[in-house]
Amino acid sequence: VTSILSYEDAVDLRNRYIGKSCSLFYRDDPLKIVRAYKQYMYDDKGNEYLDCINNVAHVGHCHPLVVQSECHQAATLCTNSRFLHDNMLLYAQKLVSLFPPSLSVCFFVNSGSEANDLALQLAQCHTQAGDVITVDDAYHGHLIPLVAISPYKYKQRKFYNKPDWVHVASVPDTYNGRYRRQSDDENTDFGLLYAKEVENIIKNVQIRNRKIAAFIAESLLSCAGQILLPSNYLRNVYQYVREAGGVCIADEVQVGFGRVGTHWWAFQLQGEDVIPDIVTLGKPMGNGHPISAVVTTAAIADSFYKAGGGYFNTFGGNPVSCAIALSVLHVIESEDLMKNAYEVGIYILDLLNQLQIKHEIIGDVRGIGLFIGIELVRDRVTKEPAITEAKTVCDLLKKNFIIVSRDGLHGNILKLKPPMVFTKQNANIFIEKLDNILSNLIL
């Protein structure tokens, strides 16, 4: 049995018993999804939807090997991490092997928020400082200190005042940000320009006798609107932050585990020499099961330990979670999913670039691997966000059995981050439907 409640009862109970603040896709006409497999989701009426957004179902929904390892371990042992267990140790060993050698110590937690919260604790303990620099429109989680470093979230809250330990750098967006590229052959070093802003923030903090503990940024900006960091951005920012005594945190919760196709981690796109001090992982790590992690240097982990930072997390790193996470890594490798992400990503971007020529509303197309953004604008010169149009496009795609979400502060950026098994045929269908919808869109 995959469905117990009727659709109407489900809507009614959701409205009655679940907080309205908890987001629900297509709130006016929500989907009741009852099962999923690979890159497809099925609703209570038996309709099949192409899933273009579930980055959590990284190796495909309900991958048989992942499910099998989960069931097997659940039937054998599930307890906390206060005992030795092979799954955690083998996973930590494997995970660390995918990072540059300096990142060698793991902490296992249950969510991206917990990972970022622990990252802040580690940073503040190691540096004996408190101030944090974050990037505008970022989202790093739902815990109190994370809302503070998540302008994407707190800007929507009428009751919120940003605490004074938080400093916000502008989004290094070369399409619609403070410094913009005018033509493709421009030689401006946008990474440096935007990094200089972080340097200024640091100077202002120091003038006020405060100290920087950390800089935190996603290695590709997802919530801010699927933005690729300009090259040289992290290299320079990390240098300024370290010179000021701070540490650098890369939030790879959305973009890690090979989504970019060329590398395991998106920070690696900025160059082999660009290495954070703390990396946070989540969403895709357990293919839908809650497991997350912090990976850091031995020095930072030791500082925390020596300062009395005992750490216990009831569910973090339990044998079932680690069995699942191990099989996710196995599937990424054995099915060559990074290569697929790379190839299908190029294919989609190419098709989108062709659509952009045809449809004025597509202001920008960007991305890498299976992490792609399509910015819809009312006017290519003013770049006025096409907010209602983006919502209409998503609603119409849903009517065409394609699930796509929107992001960015204004919600005008269509966001693609499908399971890594997404194919070129899937891309063709998405593009064909999008093309039809945009051709008939009344502006």
**Is residue 173 a contact point for ligand PMP (CB under 6 A)?**
no
List Cα–Cα distances, 156 to 93, 150, 161, 410, in angstroms: 41, 10, 11, 11
List Cα–Cα distances, 370 to 55, 60, 255, 259, 415, in angstroms: 9, 13, 9, 6, 10
Of the ranges 36-44, 60-68, 133-141, 296-304, which one interacts with ligand PMP (CB under 6 A)? 133-141
Of 288 and 385, which has the nearer Cβ to ligand PMP?
288
Q: Could you tell me the smallest distance in angstroms from the CB atom of residue 138 to ligand PMP?
A: 7
Q: Could you tell me the smallest distance in angstroms from the CB atom of residue 398 to ligand PMP?
A: 21
Residues binding ligand PMP: number (CB under 6 A): 14
Strands 212-218 and 131-135 come out as parallel
281, β-bridge pairs: 293
**Is residue 141 a contact point for ligand PMP (CB under 6 A)?**
yes
**Is residue 139 a contact point for ligand PMP (CB under 6 A)?**
yes
Of the ranges 80-88, 138-146, 355-363, 411-419, which one interacts with ligand PMP (CB under 6 A)? 138-146
Select the residue interacting with ligand PMP from 256, 261, 282, 418 (CB under 6 A): 282
Q: Could you tell me the smallest distance in angstroms from the CB atom of residue 21 to ligand PMP?
A: 14
Select the residue interacting with ligand PMP from 54, 113, 127, 303 (CB under 6 A): 113
Select the residue interacting with ligand PMP from 232, 254, 303, 340 (CB under 6 A): 254
From residue 16 to residue 55, the character string flagging contacts with ligand PMP as x (rule: CB under 6 A) and all else as - is ----------------------------------------
Q: Could you tell me the smallest distance in angstroms from the CB atom of residue 193 to ligand PMP?
A: 24
**Is residue 225 a contact point for ligand PMP (CB under 6 A)?**
no
**Is residue 218 a contact point for ligand PMP (CB under 6 A)?**
yes
Residues composing the chain? 443
**Is residue 112 a contact point for ligand PMP (CB under 6 A)?**
yes
Binding site residues, ligand PMP, CB under 6 A: 111-113, 116, 139-142, 218, 222, 251, 253-254, 282
